Amino acid sequence: MFTLFAIDRTQPLRSAARAGARMGWLAAALLALAACGGGSPEQRLRASMTQLQDAIQARDAKAVRAQLADDFVGPQGLDREGARRLAAASFLRYRDVWVRVAAPRFEVKGDRATVEFEAALGGGAGNALPEAAQLYQVRTGWRERDGEWRMISAEWTPRL
């Protein structure tokens, strides 16, 4: 279960919406799931998603990039390097970035997988309330090579 906070209305709504949109790709990247040990494809996928989450929580844009496939594609032509730059900009703008994920659904078929979930994403300067927050419906695509899962695609739709 997750908690969604309201956007601080003291800043212009467009600015808050833009900030939420810039952080939207982070929702695609993050799942608040514990890593599972073992060797099944789904367990390895969960572990890869946890590594991505750890990279974001550590505010490490290069480590975020490392979890994306070379041919990663996001909305509006976002590529792997663009995602790294977007992560770096978000980390500069927000001291704290958080996500709460609900109802993840895994579909693994051979070396490909899809994970869909709802995510609440926010960021701020360490205050009790976030400066920006949004709820998203997220769909991610993954590919496994040599036992490692990498995200190959992400799309998200704001729910509020």
Phi, psi of 79 (to 5 degrees): -110, -175
Mapped onto helix, strand or coil, the DSSP state of residue 106 is strand
In a domain, 7, yes or no: no
Which residues constitute the domain of residue 72?
Answer: 13-158
Domain count for the chain: 1
Paired sense of beta strands 68-73 and 148-158, if any: parallel
Q: What is the pLDDT of residues 8-18, one digit of tens each?
A: 333 444 444 45
Q: What is the pLDDT of residues 44-78, one digit of tens each?
A: 999 998 898 788 878 899 999 999 999 999 999 99
Contacts for 14 with CB less than 8 Å, ≥ 6 apart: none
In a domain, 8, yes or no: no
In a domain, 6, yes or no: no
In a domain, 109, yes or no: yes
Q: Are 140 and 119 within 8 A, CB to CB? A: no
- Model pTM? 0.72
Looking at residue 142, what is its pLDDT?
A: 98
In a domain, 4, yes or no: no
In a domain, 5, yes or no: no
Whether 32 has a pLDDT exceeding 80, the answer reads no
Q: What is the pLDDT of residues 126-145, one digit of tens each?
A: 665 566 788 999 999 999 99
In a domain, 19, yes or no: yes
Q: What is the pLDDT of residues 70-100, one digit of tens each?
A: 999 999 999 999 999 999 998 888 878 877 7
CATH number (domain holding residue 105): 3.10.450.50
Q: What letter represents residue 71's amino acid?
A: D
